Structure 1
């Protein structure tokens, strides 16, 4: 049952169920959910609102129709062709802001990928914490075919698939399969079309059994620790964080529930 929604655009639907699971849906099936400046702004607004909504426990990024997202909209690209450098820079900054907002969302995020995910859509997938794709899904970093580069999405895609794989797919612009996407780290799971929703539901069931504040803190911990040398500063920081979580109300509830052999108050079946 729907709890609430954020109607920023008819092309970006957002529904929050009674468990606190928000589903953000790209809704431009006639153009394979390609994005333009309007869609980017609506996504940024939606992700920002969800981030500050304490009732939200997890976010699923989905889409309608045959494709997850075809990347940039053709009409938007036609307009960009006549943009000045300053206009292009503003346009790119808007996309960069949207991706950053998704990447740093304090709730766990899951991409539901069916059909094609081309160009900037690969960035959307890479910004999510988890991504489940249909075995029929196809992926392509197609920018160089147009004489462009995947610059704005590159930090997230490279983090997901690694520099070595990026050297190949950024420069060949070849289409690769869901199985390959799983192997290189872009997808968490590659399943049949029929298993797509049940696989995501299983992930959500796991998330909803965990402390919501701890889940958010764990996400931030990863961002703050990744690629850092475990020196004294880092050791002190991680020690302080575990001490803070132990004395927090959620930490006390979790430890108490464990010792008393009961379910904590955040647990959702």
Structure 2
């Protein structure tokens, strides 16, 4: 891969945006490589947690300028295919079987803010800015708003999506867009410690099932969601991880995941 670095260590997969000279701006190839990297992590049984991070000063500046210029020449069918390409990446991360943590060392704008939105957890530095600036260039934040509405609710989503204004990292945390605030000096250390804690303390199978359920129950009626939850509960009791965890608890023994 040209724009993405992929490596694993201690059961953590690190997916790094490596297009710093373009502020890690997204184009078709970069989206393809991200989909490939997340697919690789999904298939790796040794990986329990994923960290998405970036090189350079910016986390991701959204769509590449040359890429945007090219889109103006596309037919509707070509633009639809391209939109679906990005949709598939966001959906892949949001429904990924592994927990995904964003390590945000700089600004995350437009599509870059979308990447942060679909991760399960996110750490950022006080200097970073966040925002969906699409309306300011006559575009729309169409795909990301599906996930943003779920994450922070309609009122806060409207504030971000309709104004196009950038917000501080502190406000992003207050709104629930970002999970944790870290200093630049400790960001990587805190992300690695958090990821390592999830790896050591929790069942990968249980985290995966819980994450999938969170994504699905919001689409169901109350009755459907409760029945789905009851069935999932029953299935979980028969898993090897559940049996192992309960046995360790009853025997007052530490469980090694």
TM-score grouping bracket, smaller chain normalisation: over 0.9
Q: What's the CA shift string for 1:80-128, capped at 9, x where partnerless?
A: 1211111111111111111111111000000011111011011100110
Match of 1:221 in 2: 213
Structure showing greater relative contact order (alpha-carbon pairs closer than 8 Å, 6 or more residues apart): 2
| Shift of residue 249, structure 1, vs aligned partner | 1.2
* Residue 30 (1) aligns with residue 24 (2): no
How far, CA to CA, are the matches of 1:42 and 1:93 in structure 2? 15
| Shift of residue 56, structure 1, vs aligned partner | 0.9
User: Which shows bigger deviation, 19-28 or 206-215?
Assistant: 206-215
1:153 is paired with a residue whose SS is helix
User: Which shows bigger deviation, 201-210 or 178-187?
Assistant: 201-210
- Tell whether the 8 Å contact from 1:122 to 1:157 is kept in structure 2 after alignment: no
TM-score, normalised relative to structure 1: 0.91
Match of 2:7 in 1: 15
Runs of 4+ that moved beyond 6 A: none
Match of 1:184 in 2: 175
* Residue 155 (1) aligns with residue 146 (2): yes
How far, CA to CA, are the matches of 2:131 and 2:231 in structure 1? 42
Q: Tell me how large the CA RMSD over aligned residues is.
A: 1.4
Gaps of 5+ in 2: none
1:44 is paired with a residue whose SS is helix
Q: Which of 232, 237, 244 is residue 241 of structure 1 equivalent to?
A: 232
Gaps of 5+ in 1: 1-8
Matching of residues 137-176 of structure 1 within 5 Å = 137-176=128-167
| Shift of residue 227, structure 1, vs aligned partner | 6.2
| Shift of residue 14, structure 1, vs aligned partner | 0.7
Q: Which of 32, 41, 44 is residue 35 of structure 2 equivalent to?
A: 44
| Shift of residue 228, structure 1, vs aligned partner | 4.3
TM-score, normalised relative to structure 2: 0.95
